Amino acid sequence: MTRDLPQLPVSAVLPQLREALHGHNRAVLCAPPGAGKTTIAPLDLLAQPWLEGRKIILLEPRRLAARATASRMASLLGEEAGGTVGYRMRLDNRISSRTRIEVVTEGVFSRMILDDPELADVGLVIFDEFHERSLDADFGLALALDAQSGLREDLRILVMSATLDVEKVGALLENPPVIVSEGRAYPVDIRHEDRPAGEAVEQTVIRTVRRAIAEETGSILAFLPGQGEISRAADALSGTLGTDVTVVPLYGNLTQKEQDQAIRPAPPGTRKVVLATSIAETSITIDGVRIVIDSGLQRIPAYEPATGMTRLETVRVSRASADQRAGRAGRTEPGVAIRLWHQGQTAALAAHTTPQILASDLSGLVLDMAAWGVAEPSALCFADPPPSAAFQEARNLLVSLEALDRQSRLTETGKLMRKLGLPPRLSAMVARTALHEPASTMAAAELAVLITEQGLGGNSIDLEDRLRGFRNDRSPRAQAAKGLASRIAAQVAGEAGSRKPAATPQPGPLLIHAFPDRIALQRGGRGRFVMANGRGGELDTETRLAGATMLVVADATGRAGKTRILSAAEVARAEIEEGLPGAIIAGAQVYFDEGSREVRARRSTRLGAIVFEETPLPRPSGPEAAGVLAEGLKRLGLQVLNFGKEAGQLRDRIGFLHRSLGDPWPDVSDAALLERLDDWFVPFQNDTRGLNDVSQTSLREGLMALLPHGAGRDLERLAPTHFETPAGQRHPIQYDGEEPVLTVRVQELFGLKTHPVIGGGKLPLLLELTSPAHRPIQTTRDLPGFWAGSWKDVRADMRGRYPKHPWPEDPAEAAATHRAKPRGT
């Protein structure tokens, strides 16, 4: 079969790959973008004798990639998807009795192996683009390794990626053969252009696209963080680039037809500008693209165990992701990658994207682990073990949903939930409805599918409107979703009785069984709500739901203190009392009051943080109050604390050392500090009763407590607070940006022949050189190069402006000073 396949860079190492999998049951393939690993390697391996009578399962991180990969491989065989090569994903599959290669999304594989641990008809499982480190991929690999060790020693496992942490993955797979394919198909010219301070990222991309259209040939792929930026850029660019240029968006919340349009080649004689999220980073080739414009940003979910909610954060990409994006430009011909950041900032990027398992809701993982028969992460081989706090929160949620018992074993409800292939909260809603309100089972199933599929039934915040729109929708996507809802309802109907729809099913009373912690009461005026988990939420005051007394929130985004409700349904207190008996309780409570930011006590009738009636009690203090303060801080965010100059600089210094040197310097980002409040915050708030009373001294002491023994002595050596110039003056070093910055008058550095460094001599300072009037004149990371180069021009300009100050021809040999020249010289 090899001779019939295109000759791509990966073709050169295919004999090594065949040999590795002939003699071992595990292997790693590293191949850069454009090498052909995703399509060529599986087809080449299909004829191996150890695969006779068995399939290859190829995991892809996204539906778009799975469809595109299957179609590409099928076309290389002169077939359509569904023959020798097929795909399987939620709401869509093309598999037949002839299928030998199944391209599946990662979540689908986890369900496949949980339902059939032996994978009896599978000979090889390939984890493609493993560097993305999705939760489903990590868990799927852990299950595959466990099944291989205990049930199927002959099962082969191949991990593939373009930018992989080979050492970590190699250790996980117990040092398998590692095959490396050299070089991409075509060279890429990487350029850097700073984004002006304060300019919206889409504006920079718009300007760069216009210039690239004028100066370069070929189509453009531009990476932006999310749908909002893409929509604004598309509106600004559409119709302005010429009649031969088409602007198309590419993100997850598009129909299959719209996504396919984005990756389809531009018609002959025309060009295309694709505005994409990270969805276009891996596994797909957009024909004709030879220019990549990379904003350097991505939007990722960040889970908050304390509130059980996931918010979207805009963060810098990793170096691995930046390399992946640049590689898109060299897939079909030599290309250009324009990075919208300073070249020196690349070194400050994280090497790899943070694994999803470290920042996700783990309730689905914990439920599936229970189905596999394990209660602790240590029983499986994870590349990164899940965080203990998030794992315990997920376990607590599943116990509250009656999916697990106190020994973390599946209950009958949990077993029923696992059959449904839904997130645990939604499967709990369907299972509970089926068991107690069978006439509403179909409505619950429809609602669950609606919530998991963005845009289905419209984009209304009101789930009642979306459910109505979904039922009236006759599109292929809606029909497939309705079929899925019917299958979900049928799965529980045998154990719950009739699944005939209720006459007028309302979403609110159903959703309280999925999101009891997100029941919300209007407080503070129209459109403003407080949820049972203590978080506030807001709606546009013009929407119908803004006037509701109570809601149940299915989705929201934003940081603590400013949360925007994305989808919700109205619910009444009587419906809560009926559906969740015992949830509304009366008694004494110590709590955090967000308005005053203080710890208070009361006797109240409440549902979590929602208070219906209350009577004040004396204010508490001591450890109990400190713990409640910490809970309040988790809700409001770390920005409400006043660290002050000294503690703020200490945090910046520690954070810089963590980013630059790693261990033993702790992570002091907002997320990390909120995760460890019991270590650095609570013990130092002895008699504090409010966040406004937190002293800067206690914050400094707390940060120092995070440092391991002896590290405090190294702090001044590796990240000093000041730099002493040859002139004898001490200037503060700023650590609050991407790299350490020293702002200093240029005369104070005369006589310095080497560039100032910190971090034990490894990390250069960014010098902001100023005039005698403290106005900026030059920024440099190479002081000797500045002396030998552009100093001549600076000197010529400055001598006329500041004649009373020295401007020597050779500053490296001159005496440093912070004064003007003596009179008469």
Which amino acid, residue 11?
S
Bridge pairing between strands 271-276 and 219-223: parallel
Percentage of the chain lying above the pLDDT 90 cut: 46
Q: Which long-range contacts (CB under 8 A, 24 or more apart) does 228-233 make?
A: 229/200, 229/201, 229/202, 229/205, 229/295, 230/202, 230/275, 230/276, 230/277, 232/202, 233/202, 233/205, 233/206, 233/209, 233/275
- The verdict on residue 626 lying in a domain is no
Neighbours of 435 (CB within 10 A): 16
Q: What pLDDT sits at residue 497?
A: 43
pLDDT score at 494: 61
Q: Across the strands, what pairs with 537?
A: 529
The stretch 447-460 carries a mean pLDDT of 88
**pLDDT value at 550 more than 80:** yes
Domain containing 537 equals 516-620
Identify the band that residue 498 occupies on the pLDDT scale cut at 50, 70 and 90.
very low
Strand stretches in 163-321, DSSP E: 178-180, 188-192, 219-223, 245-250, 271-276, 289-294, 297-304, 309-316
360-376 pLDDT, tens digit per residue, is 889 999 999 999 999 89
pLDDT at 660: 81
Token pair listed for 238: 């559409």
Nearest Cα residue to 809 out of 750, 725, 728: 750
Instruction: Name the pairing type of β-strands 585-593 and 598-607.
Output: antiparallel
Asked, for residue 774, whether it belongs to a domain, the answer is: yes
Per-residue pLDDT, 504: 53
| Cα distance between residue 280 and residue 324, in whole Å | 10
pLDDT digits (tens, 9 = 90+) for 324-365: 888 888 877 889 999 999 888 888 888 878 888 988 889 999
Q: Is the pLDDT assigned to residue 87 strictly greater than 80? A: yes
pLDDT of residue 750: 93
225 and 171 belong to one structural domain = no
The one-letter amino acid at 361: D
Which segment of 139-153, 408-422, 516-530 scores lowest on mean pLDDT? Answer: 408-422
62 contacts: CB under 8 Å, gap ≥ 6:
105, 252, 279, 283
Domains in the chain: how many in total?
A: 5
Q: Are residues 649 and 707 both part of a single domain?
A: yes
Say if residues 350 and 322 touch (Cβ distance below 8 Å): no
What gap in Å lies between CA 751 and CA 726, rounded to an integer? 7
Q: What is the pLDDT of residue 390?
A: 86
- Is 400 among the domain residues? no
Pair 211, 110 in one domain: no
Q: Is residue 73 part of a domain?
A: yes
Which pLDDT does position 700 carry in this prediction? 94
The H or E element that residue 783 is part of is: helix 783-788
**Domain-located, residue 282:** yes
CB neighbourhood size of 777 (10 A): 16
Please tell me whether residues 318 and 218 are part of one structural domain: yes
| Domain's final residue, options 303, 322, 357 | 357
Residues 92, 170 within the same domain: yes
Q: Answer yes or no: do 168 and 35 share one domain.
A: yes
Average model confidence (pLDDT) for the chain?
88
**pLDDT tier at 168 (50, 70, 90 boundaries)?**
confident
Residue 171 and residue 78 share a domain: yes
SS (H, E, C) 479-523: HHHHHHHHHHHHHHHHHHCCCCCCCCCCHHHHHCCCCHHHEEEEC
Provide the pLDDT confidence category of residue 163 given band limits of 50, 70 and 90.
low
pLDDT digits (tens, 9 = 90+) for 117-153: 999 899 999 999 888 888 999 999 999 999 999 899 9
- Domain end call among 312, 330, 357: 357
pLDDT in tens, 24-75: 999 999 887 777 888 999 999 999 999 998 999 999 988 888 888 999 899 9
Answer yes or no: is 112 within a domain: yes
Contacts of residue 108, defined as CB under 8 A and 6 or more positions apart, other chains included, come to 88, 89, 90
Same domain? For 174 and 240 the reply is: no
Could you tell me if residue 757 is inside a domain?
yes
Given this model, what pLDDT does residue 621 score? 81
Shared domain for 260 and 341, answered yes or no, is: yes
Query: What per-residue confidence (pLDDT) applies to 572?
Result: 94
Contact (CB, 8 A) for 519 and 552: yes
pTM confidence score: 0.67
Per the structure block, which two tokens stand in for 90? 């939620």
**616 and 699: one domain?**
no
- 399 is a domain residue: no
Count Cβ atoms within 10 A of the Cβ of residue 227 and give its class: 0-12 exposed, 13-18 middle, 19 or more buried. middle
pLDDT at residue 745 is higher than 90? yes
As a whole number of angstroms, the distance between CA 320 and CA 301 comes to 19
Residues 172 and 192 occupy one common structural domain: no
Q: Cβ distance 105 to 63 under 8 Å?
A: yes
> Has residue 496 got a pLDDT over 80?
no
What CATH number should be reported for the domain holding residue 268?
A: 3.40.50.300
List Cα–Cα distances, 237 to 205, 210, 615, in angstroms: 10, 8, 59
Domain end call among 180, 207, 232: 180
What's the rounded mean pLDDT across residues 214-224? 92
Which distant-in-sequence residues (6+ apart) come within 8 Å of 500 by Cβ? Answer: 439, 442
Find the angle CA(59)-CA(62)-CA(64) to the nearest 5 degrees: 115
C-alpha to C-alpha distance for 292 and 216, rounded to whole angstroms: 11
User: Is the domain of 701 the same as that of 774?
Assistant: no
